[in-house]
Amino acid sequence: MPILFAIVVTDLIGFGIVIPLLPFYGEHFGASPLVVTLLMATYSLFQLFGAPFWGRLSDRHGRRPILLVSLAGSVAGYLWLGAADALWMLFAARAVQGACAGNIAAAQAYVSDVTTPENRAKGMGMIGAAFGIGFIIGPALGGTLAGADPAAPDVASAAWLGAALSALAFLGAALFLKESLPAASRGTLRDGRLAALSRVLRRPALRFLLLLFFAIVFAFAGMETTFALWAMRQFGWGAAQVGYLMTYVGVCSALMQGLLIGRLTRRFGEERLLLAGVAAITLGLAAIPLSSGLALLVIASGLLAFGMGMTQPAINSLISRRAAASEQGEVMGVAQSFGSLARIVGPAFAGLLFGSFGRNAPYYAGAALMALVFVVGLRLLHPELPSLASPTRRAP
């Protein structure tokens, strides 16, 4: 687990370096707010089709080779991004990275292999903490490299550094990471991805959790992909200031997922933790448009960070516990596809609202959606309902 954590952190630092800077890079090439959000969604569009495929392959061939392939794809994508001199090249580079993005689904399946159901949320919190650390160090590095001028960001240097970090993670996985899935526990590669999706969605408990997961990511991704544009218009910020705020968000997320999630889960359970996280996200999204100064924005961003820090490991644990050992990669891959789909339509919807109704519209819409998720999610406190039956531990 410590080796996996170090590998995922290294890779996600590179991810965190580039993400806050892409909106500025897109506008540098003349992209509208809608096109900027589509650029951000391109990665998720290709991840949508790639994640179940890589997840199923990891069930058949093991987690380690899939991590290696996905990390190599990340290196290629960063190199292309650094060499980009036109808008289409930005889209192409993000497409390559998304198509090869099997690392998170494989890492989550790896955690499922080496944890008990009782410790699953804590293990998933480790992956979440890696995200948090990646968004502590990455945006600060990226913002420093890109500079404070929103009209002339230096994204190329950040992309080169991202490539180097993914290459370092690849080397670490190749040299030090042991396979977590014994050959005797590997399943056969069953029929196609649509059939895998159909198998998962036929199970009511998983279907309910995946829809909640989709809605949460939809709202958060809309905020994430428009925030740089919002801050540029609200405060005149450039990439450096956005990067520093993202670093603060990463600190809050890492604190929640790295230090608190295990204790909170043992005390309250995944279901209550998920609902508390949704409530925090709702308040954070509603508060962003009201932020005329830094103080309220810091509070709102902290609520979002702590909210996502609670919801992500909680819902991933609930999903994982309803999958058999031989299908962990497949089920987590389907879950990642739901997240990817949300990161496609969420940013596109937010960009449309941003351009049509003003910079605050995506945040009010996201808050309303999260309030609805909270109400629907109350069913999790009643496990006797048919759709929320006890976890299934056998393959369908």
Q: 3-state secondary structure string, the chain?
A: CHHHHHHHHHHHHHHHHHHHHHHHHHHHCCCCHHHHHHHHHHHHHHHHHHHHHHHHHHHHHCHHHHHHHHHHHHHHHHHHHHHCCCHHHHHHHHHHHHHCCCHHHHHHHHHHHHCCHHHHHHHHHHHHHHHHHHHHHHHHHHHHHHCCCCCCCCHHHHHHHHHHHHHHHHHHHHHHCCCCCCHHHCCCCCCCHHHHHHHHHCCHHHHHHHHHHHHHHHHHHHHHHHHHHHHHHHHCCCHHHHHHHHHHHHHHHHHHHHHHHHHHHHHHHHHHHHHHHHHHHHHHHHHHHHCCCHHHHHHHHHHHHHHHHHHHHHHHHHHHCCCCHHHHHHHHHHHHHHHHHHHHHHHHHHHHHHHHHCCCHHHHHHHHHHHHHHHHHHHHHCCCCHHHCCCCCCCC
Residue 191 has pLDDT above 60, yes or no: no
Q: pLDDT grade, residue 150 (50/70/90)?
A: low
Tell me how far apart the alpha carbons of residues 372 and 155 are, in angstroms, rounded to a whole number: 38
* CA separation, residue 122 to residues 58, 151, 217, 297, 321 (Å): 22, 42, 20, 29, 13
Segment 301-320 mean pLDDT:
89
Residue 154 has pLDDT above 50, yes or no: yes
Q: Which of 235-244, 318-327, 351-360 shows the lowest per-residue confidence on average (mean pLDDT)?
A: 318-327
Residue whose C-alpha is closest to residue 161's, from 226, 86, 60, 78: 78
Q: According to the model, what pLDDT value does residue 396 have?
A: 40
Segment 194-215 mean pLDDT:
83
Query: How much of the chain exceeds pLDDT 90, in percent?
Result: 21
Residue 303 has pLDDT above 90, yes or no: yes
Half-sphere exposure of 66 (CA within 13 A, CB side): 31
* Residue with token string 């945040």: 363
Residue whose C-alpha is closest to residue 58's, from 69, 47, 43, 72: 69
Q: According to the model, what pLDDT value does residue 393 have?
A: 42
Q: According to the model, what pLDDT value does residue 394 have?
A: 40
Q: According to the model, what pLDDT value does residue 192 have?
A: 58
Domains of the chain: 2-178+194-388 (1.20.1250.20)
Question: pLDDT digits over 10-30, tens only?
Answer: 777 877 777 777 887 788 888
Segment 142-155 mean pLDDT:
71
Segment 228-255 mean pLDDT:
85
Q: According to the model, what pLDDT value does residue 280 have?
A: 96
Tell me how far apart the alpha carbons of residues 209 and 214 are, in angstroms, rounded to a whole number: 9
Q: pLDDT grade, residue 259 (50/70/90)?
A: confident
pTM over 0.85: no
Residue scoring higher pLDDT (40 or 83): 83
CB-based contact 284:276 (threshold 8 Å): no
Residues whose CB falls within 8 Å of the CB of residue 160, separated by 6 or more in sequence, listed in order: 78, 79, 82
